[in-house]
Amino acid sequence: MLALLVATAFLIRPSPNSPFLHDSRFVVTTRPTSGLPSNATLTHKAFTWWLQIRQRFQKPRPLAYSFPASPTNRCSIHGLLNQCMEVTGVRYVIAKDVAAGTIEFGHTNTLNGTQWVAAFTEALQNSQPEWWDSQAQKFHKENLVLITNDASTVLVLPKSKVEEFQTRRAD
């Protein structure tokens, strides 16, 4: 039993740190977590561990998701990018001020996960999301740029910050 617990703990340990996790300029998307009540039975604990192991090693299946038609609403950028990560497995690294922003988003048809993520990321790039710029002390409304950093990480930046970020990254 102890060996099983040690093996489980090893398998569900966090993935290696991204260089962005400790960069105060960014917020990183996360997968949803499920907690257990303090009085959970051993069966519930085992089932939760099994789900965590499965989530960690199972490849994302975006076509298994279905998003019903939704009227256009003001939505949280960070919240929906967390949902994009759940669907695709891709981690989004978002400029901190932008992560707290909103975007008008909706769709008229039922979409699978791949279509929904494509629609949302396209909206980020073309529908002028809005956020509070803490340095300039004013609201910004501009399209965002999504930069694929590697196979599992996408940077989400305002157009005005792309050059600055690329310069800092080159240093």
Domain ranges of the chain: 23-30+40-170
Tell me the pLDDT of the chain (171 aa) as tens digits. Answer: 555 555 555 544 444 555 666 788 899 998 776 677 888 888 888 888 887 777 777 788 888 899 999 999 999 999 999 999 999 989 999 999 999 999 999 999 999 999 999 999 999 999 999 999 888 899 999 999 999 877 788 999 998 888 776 655 544
Tokens of 27: 């917020």
- Dihedral of alpha carbons 102, 107, 110, 116, sign: negative
Rounded-to-integer distance, Cα 120 and Cα 126, Å: 10
| pTM, rounded to two decimals | 0.77
CA dihedral 21, 142, 133, 87 (to 10 degrees): -30
